[in-house]
Amino acid sequence: MDFETGMENLTSGCDSDCDCSPDPELLADFKRAIHALGGKWKLEILFALMNGAVRFGALRRSIGGITQHMLTTQLRELEQDGLVSRTVLASKPLQVAYELTDAAYGLLPAFKEILSWSRLYGDARLEASRQA
């Protein structure tokens, strides 16, 4: 199957005397993005925050199966990577809300593409696993 993905320009042309390695700077950028978004829960957390600020407890309830410790850890990493901001609310007892930064809202087109991809190919993958 021959089609253009836009990724073709990320690597140098492969001649018989080259090692076909991707551009080191582009690879470093890609690795940085994967590190910031990688892990079992980060994408789910970011997706849960797409509609605005959410308090910690509500966020935990919205993501089934995540422990309080893991949510705290993942939120701290997302905050360090500049994707989530933390706001302490002036209330008793102390409450904290999390929301996406402008940098994280920049992921919205990528999320839409992932959803489109899932709608196109997700059912096929599930069907294949059922037949296996």
22: DSSP letter: B
The whole-number pLDDT of residue 98 equals 97
Cα atoms in the Cβ-side hemisphere of radius 13 Å centred on 89: 13
Q: Is residue 10 part of a domain?
A: no
For the question of whether the overall pTM of this predicted structure is more than 0.95, the answer is no
Please compute the mean of the pLDDT values over residues 70-97 and round it to a whole number: 93
pLDDT in tens, 6-58: 555 554 455 556 667 788 888 888 888 888 888 889 999 999 999 999 999 99
Q: Is residue 99 part of a domain?
A: yes
**Alpha carbons 80 and 77: distance in angstroms, whole number:** 5
CATH number of the domain to which 28 belongs: 1.10.10.10
Position 125 pLDDT exceeds 90: no
| Domain residue limits at 127 | 23-131
Q: Which two tokens stand for residue 88?
A: 């302490």
Task: State how many domains the chain has.
Answer: 1
Where would I find the beta strands (DSSP E) of the chain?
54-55, 84-89, 95-100
**Alpha carbons 39 and 37: distance in angstroms, whole number:** 7
Q: Is residue 49 part of a domain?
A: yes
